[in-house]
Structure formats: structure tokens, C-alpha cells
Amino acid sequence: MTYSFATTLPNVTQLSLAESDEQLIPQFVSAARNNSVKALVSVGGWTGSLYYSSNVASSENRTAFVKTITEFATKYELDGIDFDWEYPGNQGIGCNVVSPNDTSNFLSFLQELRQDPVGQKLFLTAATSIFPWKGPDGTPLTNVSGFAEVLDYVAIMNYDIWGSWSTSVGPNAPLNDTCAPAADQQGSAVSAVAAWTAAGMPAHQIVLGVASYGHSFQVEPSEAIECDDDGDVLAAYPSFTANQPIGDAWDDAAGVDECGAQTGPGGVFDFWGLIKGGFLFENGTVAEGIDYRFDECSQTAYVYNETSAVMVSFDDAKAFAAKGKFIKTQGLRGFAIWEAGGDFKDILLDSISKAAGIEEDCDSQTETQTPPTTSDNGDDDCDDSETPPDSDESDNGSGSSDNDNGDDDC
């Protein structure tokens, strides 16, 4: 189980936590212990990676950051740390400190952390993009074997491939895109795993990141529906308007981000949010009056409400099963879900676990994302709510969670 997030600060000797985290992290660790799973805290995330680069930029800073991490882990009795740097050598949210030496400095930091008496015992993981980390020339590394020696695994965040920033609607979390038109090949689980293994990350040290949420788009009916040999079907890559729909109760509201930039609503629907929003029935199947498409190329789902003109690209149980089969056939360590609280009655977790050959129940030591603030989604004790949650107090932004890995610590 991974608790998200502690965030980086200009002062390398400190990490930032939300006010409630001081009380919630010990509760989280206790819940993990009671369920015989490791307790990790993730450092960084989309909004919390601003100062990663400067924190590892020099030998002195790396040594100080090692001390910060180990003291943090000791204070909260953690089993490990997840490093969710978005992204080394590449801009993320828009105002991160970035250096062409980020990736090499990150490796040097991890190597030093592994030499520390506390760091030697920690379970260390990293959330990554679908491409290997960038080298000093700005291109993905062709050799990440050094990271494989110091990390227990990497979790590939195979989601947010398409969204409101894209030129058209597209699959949020494509399993495959090699079968898509060339212009629509933005990355997928297939291409990501191929890139990481080719660069020297063993398959058994790769966890596939999966999403329990989808992105919504305002799509006019004339764009949403196309005609093929089977009649009228939903288009896979339609154009959308600039009017961003508002997602479910956990969706990010419009406001100002950490860089001071104005942002609109996120337009994110969790799986339970699609049920509560009338797109799906409580068993996860498409609701009456809603158009549905399962894209055989990306192995992802689309739903469309013609009345509101809202289309959502997401993963349903069929999509999760396809990813589970991929995990099994590729020999990956398991899956990481962002976030378990987005599921409903374990429909998604059960589907991917069964397909991947992983037992998924409270006794199977499932590692799942624990939201960083209190919510009524039943995440700590595997007791999922019978109805979709009404709370909007959980962070469901883009990030990585820990996973079922099919071995002794799931």
C-alpha cells in the first residue's frame, strides 16, 4: 500500500505533508500492518515534484536528501518509499526545476540511499512515464540497468495518454496502439513495456499502472457518431469542444495550480462516478440510453451521453481483464492502480486480478492506493461501499499507487 503524497521543498532537509497527514500516516501504517502488507509513502506526484531536481543536483544535496528520506521513513515506521518524480530531465506541471543531469543525479542519489544502513532495508520503487527516463541529450535512456540494481520495481503510469490537452478524444489508458493510425499512436502498455525492457529493466521488476478513472470530453453528436459496416458506432478519436465537462465529486475544481496558472475542472470520472453519473449500472455495464464502444485496438471503453454531449474514455472490467492477461503473459510483477478508491465493489480489481492470476480479496495481501485524506470509499479494510461515495475529500490526481505483484508481499 502506498500513501500519496509527501512533496519536495526547496529546503532539501524537509518534505512537505498536508496538515492531516501527521495523523493519517500512522493510521495508514497500522492498517497495512494489520493486513500484512508493506506500507510506503510516495514522494512527489504531479504537483509535488517541483524541487526534486535541486534536491539531488549536487553531492551535498544528495547526501542531505538521503538523510531526509531515511529519517522520514524511520519516523513513520515505513517499509519503503516510492519516488514519483514527474519527470527527471523533463518538465511536468510547468514550473519544476529541471536539469539535463536529472536522471544521472537521480541514479546517484538512489545508489547512495542503498548504501545507507536504513536505506538498505527499505523497499524502493519509482513511478515512471511510458518512456524510460531522459538522458542529458533529452532522449529516453537506452540503458536503465543501473536503476534495476537499486529499485525493487518501477510502476509505468500507463494512463493520461489522451486528455483535454490532446487534439482529439482518445484512449486514457491504451493497452495497445500499434494497430491505431500513425497519428494516434501516442503510447501504450505494449510499447511502454517494450521500451523499458529493451533498456534493461527486467519484466519481473515492472508493474503496470492502471487507471480506475476516465477523462471526459464535450463532443457534439455529429462528431461522436460515425457509420461503419455495423451501422452507427461511437467514433474512437472524435474532435471535442473547448467546454470541459465537470467530472464526479472527486474531480479537481477550477482554480490556480502550484505554478500560478489558471486551470479548469479536471473532467475526471472515477469508475464509481460513472455509475453515480448514470453512464453505467451498478454491475459496471452500460446504462440505458448511453452509447458504448469497446475499442478493440486500444482495448479500452468509451461511453457517450447524447443528451449532455459528454463522452468519457475509461477502462471497464473488460479493459482491466485485457491488461491482467497482458501482465501474466509478459511476466510482469503485477499492477498498480490509481486509485483503488475509484473502483466500485471491486469490479475492476477482481477483473484484473483474476486475469493476471492474482487472488484478489482481503486475505490476499492486496496492495492498493490509500487516498491521502479521509473518505468513505472503504479503501483501508477492503470493505467497499455498497453505493458510490458522496465524499469529495480524496485526492485522485494523476499519480501512481502500489500494486498487486503476485509474490509474497503482493
- What is the pLDDT, as a whole number, of residue 35? 95
* DSSP three-state, residue 225: strand
Quick check: 306 and 291 in contact, CB under 8 A? yes
Q: Which domains does the chain have, with CATH numbers?
A: 2-213+316-404 (3.20.20.80), 216-314 (no CATH)
- What is the pLDDT, as a whole number, of residue 393? 32
Rounded to whole angstroms, the Cα distance separating 314 from 247 reads 13
Which contiguous run of DSSP H or E holds residue 110? helix 102-115
- What is the pLDDT, as a whole number, of residue 359? 66
Consecutive 10-residue averages of pLDDT for the chain (410 residues): 96 98 97 96 98 99 99 99 98 97 99 99 99 98 99 99 96 96 94 99 99 99 89 93 96 95 96 99 98 97 98 99 99 96 97 88 41 31 40 33 35
Rounded to whole angstroms, the Cα distance separating 197 from 386 reads 40
Q: Tell me the DSSP string of 19-31.
A: TTHHHHHHHHHHH
Our measurement of the distance from residue 95's CA atom to the centroid of its chain's CA atoms, rounded to an integer in Å, reads 21
Our measurement of the distance from residue 258's CA atom to the centroid of its chain's CA atoms, rounded to an integer in Å, reads 20
Rounded to whole angstroms, the Cα distance separating 3 from 151 reads 18
Cell of residue 343, nine digits: 473502483
Question: Which residues does 75 contact at the CB level (< 8 Å), separation at least 6?
Answer: none
Identify the sign of the CA torsion 68, 72, 78, 82. negative
Rounded to whole angstroms, the Cα distance separating 58 from 355 reads 45
Rounded to whole angstroms, the Cα distance separating 227 from 240 reads 18
Quick check: 214 and 284 in contact, CB under 8 A? no
Rounded to whole angstroms, the Cα distance separating 90 from 106 reads 13
Q: Tell me the DSSP string of 113-136.
A: HHHSTTGGGSEEEEEE-SSPPB-T
Query: H helices then E strands: how many in the chain?
Result: 10, 19
Quick check: 51 and 402 in contact, CB under 8 A? no
Quick check: 1 and 37 in contact, CB under 8 A? yes
- What is the pLDDT, as a whole number, of residue 230? 74
- What is the pLDDT, as a whole number, of residue 392? 33
Rounded to whole angstroms, the Cα distance separating 287 from 115 reads 55
Adjacent-strand bridge partners of 225? 234
